[in-house]
Structure 1
Amino acid sequence: MTLLELNEVGKAYGAVRALEGVSLTVEQGRISCVLGDNGAGKSTLIKIIAGLHQHDEGSYAIAGEQVRLSSPRQALDRGIATVYQDLAVVPLMPVWRNFFLGAELGRFRLDVPRMRRITQEALEKMGIDLHDVDQPIGTLSGGQRQCVAIARAVHFGAKALILDEPTAALGVKQSGVVLKYVAAARDAGLGVVLITHNPHHAYLVGDHFTLLKRGRMAGSHPRSEINLERLTTEMAGGSDLAELSHELGRTDPKEHPPT
């Protein structure tokens, strides 16, 4: 089932074209990875999907309906949850308060016991081992905070989950933990968009790979048609690397073996 579909989307800020001719399909139970270096257009694409900015060209459809979202609330109401790299948490508040931030239970007073219990159950359902939901979320590792954000999106009924560089500031072990829960979100039936500049992380979980370069499509491949080596080369830009290598006077030793 197709949840989101962007076709030939473009976006300009004055004379600067941030996106041009970008297409992306997000399907239920699949992870679509969007790869690109800084300045590739990934952030602009996220903002269009999440309702922060409107596209200037092309079309954007949610569940087959053409839309022009004008706010993140409209995206949320349609089941699109976005987890940004900075997470937007309140570090000194406990985990359960952050889990329900903006969606607290109780009409006249907070139903604290219920929110604590639901938070614990939601985390356990995702396989997240967190013993104390009363601890300030700021005391958790970056990977743990990302996992809480993913569990929150699943609990509140997200159909599509957009993840902005969730492993960018994490070490190898924490990145592995986060990717495990990204896969868990897919297995829970969500359509996931994983934004990353790391082809190794993308290839561990991705079902489809879209490459951006300077705001344009540089490739679009299902997993069955590409391996990690080729994905890494396309992500880095094979011709650009060859040109840089030539300028630096570096060549492949296989091409010029020592005599």
Structure 2
Amino acid sequence: AQGRGIATVHQFGGTFPLMSIGRSFFVGVEPTKGWGPFKIYDRKRANEIAVKAVRDFGITRIDDGDRLVGGLSGGERQSLAIARAVYFGARVLILDEPTAALGVKQASHVLRIVNEAKRRGLAVVFITHQVMHAMTVGDHFAVLIRGAIADDFRKGQRSREEITDLMAGGETMADLEAKVDGYMAEHEGHPP
């Protein structure tokens, strides 16, 4: 897939907390210096490239490639993984729940990076259960229920409420809330 320009960034970014930013950015394809049997990892070059790639996405807080990935926020880790994919030639970027484990500020940071990737011409497949996040970055939507396409539409063709209801399995959220309220009232004071 990578050879065809397809990259996947998983929920936790696929970074390595105990590695430096430069090392994590190049894991498996480390730049070297020297020749023949005397080649060694080029830490300075790796750090410079990694920091530049991340900063090109507007992450100005990262300025030291020797810094440990574990010291980055969740949003910064996702940004590092996205910048790595773009650097290595991704044309299609599959993001699997990139905002699921993030707070509001970090999630908005990742959404900004996704929009920047789109602006650069990458096709982005954004998998999420967060309706607002999908609506923020999406142009074309497919809602899956148990692995089958329940609906396929373009931006502006469905309201947030319609999408939320669809994701709840086709029931309206009001119906679902009424069922939950009824269950709670029926079982109030009775342990399950």
SS in structure 2 opposite 1:116?
helix
Normalised by the length of structure 2, the TM-score is: 0.85
Answer whether contact 2:164 2:173 (CA < 8 A) is retained. no
Shift of the alpha carbon at 1:214?
Answer: 1.1
2:158 to 198, 223, 226: 226
Structure showing the higher helix proportion among its residues: 2
Per mean C-alpha deviation after superposition, the further-off stretch among 98-107 and 141-150 is: 98-107
Shift of the alpha carbon at 1:235?
Answer: 1.7
The residue aligned with 2:14 is 88
Once the two structures are superposed, the pairs formed by residues 45-194 of structure 1 within 5 Å of their partners are 75-106=1-32, 108-129=39-60, 130-194=62-126
CA distance in 1 between counterparts of 2:177 and 2:74 reads 36
The residue aligned with 2:187 is none
Identity of aligned residues (%): 48
Shift of the alpha carbon at 1:211?
Answer: 0.3
The Cα offsets for residues 48-67 of structure 1, whole Å up to 9 and x where unpaired, read as: xxxxxxxxxxxxxxxxxxxx
Structure showing the higher strand proportion among its residues: 1
Shift of the alpha carbon at 1:123?
Answer: 1.3
CA distance 1:133–1:246, change in 2 (3 Å): same
Answer whether contact 2:165 2:171 (CA < 8 A) is retained. no
Which of structures 1 and 2 has the larger relative contact order (alpha carbons within 8 angstroms, sep 6+)?
1
Q: Which stretches in structure 1 are left out of the alignment for 5+ residues? A: 1-74, 251-259
Q: Which stretches in structure 2 are left out of the alignment for 5+ residues? A: 34-38, 183-192
The residue aligned with 1:255 is none
CA distance in 1 between counterparts of 2:180 and 2:51 reads 55
CA distance in 2 between counterparts of 1:240 and 1:227 reads 13
The Cα offsets for residues 29-76 of structure 1, whole Å up to 9 and x where unpaired, read as: xxxxxxxxxxxxxxxxxxxxxxxxxxxxxxxxxxxxxxxxxxxxxx11
Answer whether contact 2:143 2:151 (CA < 8 A) is retained. yes
Shift of the alpha carbon at 1:228?
Answer: 2.1
CA distance 1:197–1:110, change in 2 (3 Å): same
CA distance 1:143–1:249, change in 2 (3 Å): closer
Normalised by the length of structure 1, the TM-score is: 0.64
RMSD: 1.7
Shift of the alpha carbon at 1:245?
Answer: 4.5
CA distance 1:101–1:242, change in 2 (3 Å): same
Q: How many residue pairs end up in the alignment?
A: 176
Answer whether contact 2:140 2:152 (CA < 8 A) is retained. yes
CA distance 1:105–1:117, change in 2 (3 Å): same
CA distance in 1 between counterparts of 2:95 and 2:24 reads 18
